[in-house]
Amino acid sequence: MDALVAAAKAEGKLTVIALPPDWANYGAIITGFKAKYGIDITSLNPNGSSQDEVNAFDGTSRAPDVVDVGQAVALANTAKFAPYQVKEWSDIPNGAKESTGLWFNDYGGYMGIGYDSSKVTVTSVQDLLGPAFKSKVALAGDPTKSNQGLNGVIMASVANGGSLDDVSKGVDFFKQLKQKGNYVPVVGTAATVKSGQTPVLFEWDYLSASHGKDVPTWKIFVPSNAIIGGYYSQAINKQAPHPAAARLWEEYLYSNEGQNLWLKGGARPVRQAAMTSAGTVDTAAAAALPAVPGTPQVPSGDQTSKASQYVVANWSQAVA
């Protein structure tokens, strides 16, 4: 670690991408890394999708050193990543990492439907087809490129009789929303929620919770028959312009400090079980996590990839 810190400080820079400050507490994480190591961070395209992240690997000095992507994108781009194993590698479950360290899960949560309760009430996914939801329902990402958007479609599918192996019913559901005039074809963000443009938004629960500061009447509905869990994954650009800083960043993220900062952002860090056993978890932050109202379903890498392929092939026609 001493040699890694020295090499990273010599580089003096780190480039990240698609990390909004209010996403899983990344603002505090970036600030904490800068303060600890004195390394400047350039943050590219904060609202970009997982696919946008790997598309930015252009071989230049401006390329991102590290990415935080959905599993489908991670699995499809392993040739672009460098293997690396953080100190706490053994705390990461085997199913949550590529064996050599090409990618490894970082944090996760559950897909929910956030809504402004002063305008509508959501008690089921099917409610969204009603006339009260005219021009109100959005996804927090293009599901052909965004892991979050894709998981919103997966949740809609499972809630409508589909499964983790059959996302077609989710695509059909959004087609119905579009036909009824309820689907808003914009990417939902903190700004669109605040302005009222997207008062109903499919989004990870830890991100949806942050809208309460702008919309005090914001609530989150998680369907008990479609609790879809998912993790994002870290990976290092094998052509990283700042390779030592990239690896030091990963060490910081998987340290107790970094994992607890994600936890404070409402996300569930991948080392949470191990840290709970070791007594190093932030117990107050862990206690503040929302309760899970049923049995979670977590798509495997293969299921996520197949769902992504189906959505890429059928989404445009469904919502055109």
Mean pLDDT for 255-268 is: 97
Calculate the alpha carbon distances from 212 to 44, 104, 140, 202, 250 in Å. 26, 31, 16, 15, 30
| Residue 290: per-residue pLDDT | 81
Quick: pLDDT tens for 156-208.
999 999 999 999 999 999 999 999 999 999 999 999 999 999 999 999 999 99
Quick: pLDDT tens for 34-87.
999 999 999 999 999 999 999 999 999 999 999 999 999 999 999 999 999 999
- Domain 109-228+293-319: give its CATH code: 3.40.190.10
- Do the domains spanning 2-108+230-287 and 109-228+293-319 agree at the CATH topology level? yes
Provide the total of helices (H) and of strands (E) in the chain, helices listed first.
13, 11
Which architecture, in CATH terms, is 2-108+230-287?
3-Layer(aba) Sandwich (3.40)
Quick: pLDDT tens for 291-304.
788 899 999 889 99
Every domain of the chain and the residues it spans: 2-108+230-287, 109-228+293-319
Calculate the alpha carbon distances from 302 to 60, 71, 307 in Å. 32, 9, 9
pTM for the predicted model, two decimal places: 0.88
Phi and psi at 38, nearest 5°, equal 65, 30
Which residues are CB-neighbours of 19 under 8 A, at least 6 positions away? 26, 30, 43, 46, 68
Quick: pLDDT tens for 1-32.
999 999 999 999 999 999 999 999 999 999 99
Q: How confident is the model at residue 96 (pLDDT cuts 50, 70, 90)?
A: very high
Calculate the alpha carbon distances from 42 to 13, 67, 150, 225 in Å. 8, 13, 28, 41
Q: Which of 267, 292, 230, 308 is nearest to 22 (CA)?
A: 267
DSSP 151-196: HHHHHHHHHTT-BTTB-HHHHHHHHHHHHTT-EEEEE--HHHHHHT
